[in-house]
Amino acid sequence: MSDHGGNAPKARPVTSAFLVCDRIIIEDESHKKALIGLFTILRAPSFPTRHGPIALYYQGTIESGEHEFHVDFVRRGDDSVLAKIEGVLIVGDGESPTELAANLPFIDVPSEGRYEFRLWIDGAYVQRASFAATMLEKRASDHNDN
């Protein structure tokens, strides 16, 4: 058995959920979270478009301690970062699930396609949450000039 001392690598987080929704409401007393408007398809009348508000919810088991994280918003296939969120997670009990809830005012979606939020903790890729951006289908009644 080897002694790693303080240089032991941090255990990889185990994800239970990473979801995209319109907003997250957090109850003051219980800290329960209500995820409103979960989606995997974003329909817009035209592109580029601005969608908002938007929220991200992560739940997973992470070892105790302080962890730097960032979330990159990217278009799949291109991988250029369109937006980035950074912060620090402070985990008291590594045996209990840790939650991260981020309400954002908006995201800019430049064109139709597949997009991802990629979560990194302590420099290691953890999980992605993705959605497809498509044109809003016009109803037949929208084509009438009457």
Cα torsion 127, 125, 83, 94 to 10°: value is: 70
Give the pLDDT confidence score for residue 4 in this predicted structure.
45
Q: What is the mean pLDDT of residues 20-31?
A: 96
Give pLDDT, residue 9: 60
| Statement: residue 105 has pLDDT above 60 | yes
Give the residue-averaged pLDDT of 60-74.
Answer: 96
Whether the predicted pLDDT of 10 surpasses 80: no
| Residue 100: per-residue pLDDT | 95
Q: How far apart are CA 69 and CA 120, in angstroms?
A: 5
Q: What is the mean pLDDT of residues 81-109?
A: 94
Residue 42: pLDDT over 70: yes
pLDDT at 103 over 80: yes
User: Percent of the chain scored above 70 by pLDDT?
Assistant: 88
- Residue 102 belongs to what H/E stretch? strand 98-104
pLDDT exceeds cutoff 80 at 132: yes
Q: Any idea which fold 11-128 has?
A: Immunoglobulin-like (2.60.40)
> What Rg value do the Cα atoms of the chain yield, rounded?
19
What pLDDT does 12 receive?
Answer: 82
- Mention every residue, 6+ apart, whose C-beta is less than 8 A from residue 107: 50, 51, 52, 54, 73, 82, 83
Give the domain ranges of the chain.
11-128
What is d(CA 112, CA 77) in angstroms, rounded to the nearest whole number? 13
What is the average pLDDT value for the chain, to the nearest integer? 90
Q: Given this model, what pLDDT does residue 6 score?
A: 52
